[in-house]
Structure 1
C-alpha cells in the first residue's frame, strides 16, 4: 500500500496537540499553586474542559493540519499555530469577561500558553526536520510523471530535483514523439494508462501549452479509478508578476490582468475577525485601566475626557477618531496644527505621559469595533494635511486603499510627526505595509508596539 504511514500524520498531529494542551494546563497549575489535586475540581475543571472544546472546534472549522508537501515549511506551520493560538486566547478572554471569572489565575493562563506554545512549536519543527530528512533519503515519496514536453515541463522537474526534501520522485516525460523530444520520452500518450498502473504513479502533471485537450480529458477521467492526482501546469509567471489574478466565473477560470489591489480572504475575513476579537478583549480586560486613565485625565486638566477628531479612512471616507485628551482645550482654535512632539506646550503633563506610552490611543479600539479602523494599519490623517502630503509624495494615495490602524510601522519606527516633512518621512515606513501585510506581520507590529509602550519611547 502506497504511503501507508502518511495517513497517520493527521491523527498524530491532533493527539500530540491535545496532549500538549492538557500537559500545559496541568503543568501551569502546578507552577502556580505547587499542587495539581484541585485542577479537576470547580472552577478549574470547567475551565480545563473549555480549553479542550475551543481547540477541538478550531480544528474542525479551520482544519489546520492539512498541508500540501510544497507548503510543509516552518513559516506555514508557525503561522497556522499562531492563528490558532490568537483565536483561542481571544475566545478565552471573552469567556473570562462574560462570566467575570476573575477568580482564575492570570499567571496560570500565561504559563499554560507559554508551555503549550513551546511544546507545539517543538513538535512541529521536529516533525518538519524528520520528514524532510526521511523523504530526502528516498522514503515516503510521491511518484510523478509529466505529460507534454517543453520548457515548463523541465522547470517543474528541476524544481523537485532541487528540493528532494519534498519527496517527489520523477518517473519520466510522456508526449507524442518529435524531433525536439526525441530520446527524452518514457513513452507516448498511448502508453500512459499501462505505465501509471505498472509503476503506481501518484501524480500526473499536465503541461497545458503542449498537451492535446482530448488526452487531458482522458487522463482526468481515469484519475479516480487509477488513484492518481492530476495537476495542470499553466505558465502565468509573466502575468502574475504584474499583479494579475485568477477569477472564477462559475467553473470557468479567468485571468485578470488588472493591477488593482487584491482583497483576499485572509485580509478581508481573517483580519476583520481578529480585529473584532482583539478589540473586544482589549476593551473588556482593559476596562479597569481605562477608568483609571479617564479619571486622571479628568482631574489633571479642565476639559472633556475624550477627544474626537475627523480623520480620513479607507477609500477617502471621513470618520471620527477617539483618544484620551492629551492637550489643553482649544489648542487648535486657530486652525489645524501638528503636534510639536512631547515638548509642545499645548500638551498637558499627564498627556505627555500618555503620549510617550501611547495610552492616549486606547479608545480607538472602539473605532476598530465599529469598523472604521483596524488594529494594525497606516495611521489616518486629516484631509488638511493629506492635501499637503500628496503634493510632496503622491504615493500616499495608495495608503487610502487599506483600513487605517491604531498602530503601524511608521508609529513604531518614527512616532508622532511635528511637520509635513516628518509626516512624509513616516510615510516611507507605512508604505511598506500594503505590500507586506499578513497575520504574522501584524503580530510583529503589535509586539513592537507593546515594547515601545513598556519602554515609554513613544515620540
Structure 2
C-alpha cells in the first residue's frame, strides 16, 4: 500500500474527540451530582445534543483535522484543540443566553471542558508518541526525491533529516550532472520517471531556482499517471517578513513584496466575529462576577463604579473607553497625568489589585461590542500623550492603522507605562502586532493575558 493507513487518521481523530466530549459531559455530571440517570432526560439531554451539534458544526466549518505532516506536532495540535474549545464555549454561551438556561450547572459545564481538555491533549500527545515509534520501525513513511540540485535542495533534505518523526525518507537528487555534482546525483531528468515508478516515490520536490518551466511541466503532467505529489521549493526567505502576499491576475500568481500593511478581508471579518462572540460569552457568563467587582469598587472608595475617558482609536477616531474606577475621584484635576504604578498614591488599594489582575479592564468588552475596540490590539492612548510619543517615536502612527484592544503584547510583556519613556519602550512590543496579527496570534495573546491575571503579575 502506497499510503498505508494515513487515511484512517481523519475518522479516528473525529471519533475519539466525540467520544471524549461525550465522556467528559457524562463524567462531569456524575462528578457534580453523584448520578448520571437524569442526564438522559430534559433539560440536560437537550444540552447534551447542543454540545455535540456545536462540535460537529466546528468540524464542518473549520476542518480542524486536515493538516500536513509538517504541522502534525504537539504544540500545533493542542493549540487547535484550545481554539476549538474557545469557539465551542462562545457558541454555547450564546445558546445559554438565548434559551435563558440559568438552570444548567456552570460547575458541570466547567468540569466538562476540563475533562475534555485533558482527554483531548492525552489523545493527541499519545498519538504523536505512537506515530513516532511506528515510523521509527519503518511504517507510515513517505519517500521523496529532490529535483534541481543546489543550496535550497540540501536545505529541505536537512530539514527532514532533523525531523525523522515526520517519516520522510530521502531517495536522491536529480539534475543534469556537472563535474561538481555528478557524484551527488541519483540520476538525470531522463531517468527520473523510471526511478519514481520503480521505487514508488511519494513526493517530488522541485527547486525553482534550478529547474526550468518546461521540465517542471513534464514532472507535473506525469504526477497524475504515476501517482506522486509535486511540491515547489521557492526561496523567499528575507522577503516574507516584509509582509509579502500573493495576488492573482486572472490565472497568474504575483508575489507582492510591498512593505505596506495589507488589509486581509477574511482575517478582519473573522476577527470581528470572534470579538463579538467572545465578548458576549464573557459578559454573559461573567455577569455575576462583574457585579461583584462593581460592588467592591463602590465599597472601597467614594465615587462612581465606572470611569469613562476619551481615547484615540483606529484612524485617529476618538471614543470613550470604560473601566472600573481604580483611582480616587478627581485624580487628574491638574490635567492628564500618567499612572505612577505602585508609587502612585492616587490609586486606591482595591484599584491597585484590579490593575495587577487586569480586572479594571473588564468593562471594555462593551467597547468591543460597540466596535470601538477589539479583544486584542495595541492599547489606546489619549491624544495628549500620543502627541508626545510621536515626537520621540514617529512609528507610533503605525498602531493607529489597527483597532485598539483590551490586551496586547505590550500589556503582557511590559504592562502599564508611568512615563513617555516607558510608553516608547512598550511601543517596541506593540509594533510587532500589525505585522503578525492573525487569529492564532490573538488566541495566544489572550491565553498569556489570562496567565498574567491569574498570577496577578500586571505591572
Report the TM-score when normalising by structure 1. 0.89
Could you tell me whether the CA contact under 8 Å between 1:412 and 1:448 is conserved in 2? no
Counterparts in 2 of 1:269 and 1:166: CA distance versus 1, 3 Å: farther
1:132 equivalent to 2:135? Answer no
Which segment is superposed worse, 313-322 or 120-129?
313-322
Map of 1:210 onto structure 2: 210
- Displacement after TM superposition at 1:305 (Å): 5.2
Partners of 2:66 and 2:39 in 1: CA distance: 33
How many angstroms does 1:365 deviate by?
Answer: 0.6
Q: Note if contact 1:326-1:348 (Cα within 8 Å) is conserved in structure 2.
A: yes
Tell me which of 426, 437, 444 is aligned to 1:441: 444
1:450 is the counterpart of 2:453: yes
Contact 1:204-1:230 at 8 Å conserved across structures: yes
2:209 alignment partner, SS class:
coil
Residue 251 (structure 1) aligned with residue 251 (structure 2): yes
Report whether the alignment pairs 1:361 with 2:361.
yes
Given that 2:357 and 2:452 are in contact with CA atoms closer than 8 Å, whether structure 1 keeps it comes out as: no
Give 1:355 shift. 4.7
Query: 1:186 and 1:299 mapped to 2: Cα distance?
Result: 80
> Cα distance 1:214–1:413, how it changes in 2: closer, same or farther (>3 A)?
closer
Is structure 2 residue 271 aligned with structure 1 residue 271? yes
Aligned-residue offset at 1:12: 0.8
Shift of 1:435: 6.2
Separation of aligned partners in 2, 1:190 and 1:397: 57
**Aligned Cα root-mean-square deviation (Å):** 2.9
Partners of 1:428 and 1:230 in 2: how far apart? Answer: 41
Q: Distance in 1 between matches of 2:422 and 2:7?
A: 57
* Contact 2:304 2:325 (C-alpha < 8 Å) held by counterparts: yes
Q: Do the aligned partners of 1:323 and 1:361 also contact (CA within 8 Å) in 2?
A: yes
Superposed CA deviations along residues 355-411 of structure 1, whole A, max 9, x for unmatched, are: 565443222111111222122332210111111123334443343343322133444
**Is the contact between residue 408 and residue 445 of structure 1 (CA under 8 Å) also seen in structure 2?**
no
Query: What secondary structure does 1:237 align onto?
Result: coil
1:3-402 aligned at under 5 Å gives the runs 3-262=3-262, 268-291=268-291, 306-327=306-327, 331-332=331-332, 334-341=334-341, 354-355=354-355, 357-402=357-402
Please, which runs of 5 or more residues in structure 2 have no aligned partner? none
* Per-residue deviation, 1:236: 1.6
Once residues 416 and 236 of structure 1 are traced to their aligned partners in structure 2, the CA distance between those partners, rounded to angstroms, is: 38
Contact 2:306 2:322 in 1 (8 A): yes
Which moved further from structure 2: 220-229 or 441-450? 441-450
C-alpha separation in 2, matches of 1:195 and 1:220: 15
Q: Deviations over 1:213-267 (max 9, x none)?
A: 2221122122222211111111222433554343333332222222234555785
Corresponding residue SS for 2:182? coil
Q: Report if aligned partners of 2:412, 2:449 keep a CA contact under 8 Å in 1.
A: no
Distance in 2 (alpha carbons) for counterparts of 1:401 and 1:354: 29
C-alpha separation in 2, matches of 1:329 and 1:185: 78
In the alignment, the residues of structure 1 paired with residue 295 and residue 133 of structure 2 have an alpha-carbon distance, to the nearest angstrom, of 60
- Corresponding residue of 1:423: 423
TM-score of the aligned structures, taking structure 2 as reference length: 0.89
Find the residue that maps to 2:153 and give its secondary structure: helix
Superposed CA offset, 1:136-159 (max 9, x none): 332211111222222222222222
CA distance 1:309–1:40, change in 2 (3 Å): same
What 5-or-longer segments of structure 1 have no aligned partner?
A: none
From the superposition, tell whether residues 288 and 395 of structure 1 become closer, same or farther in structure 2 (CA, over 3 Å): same
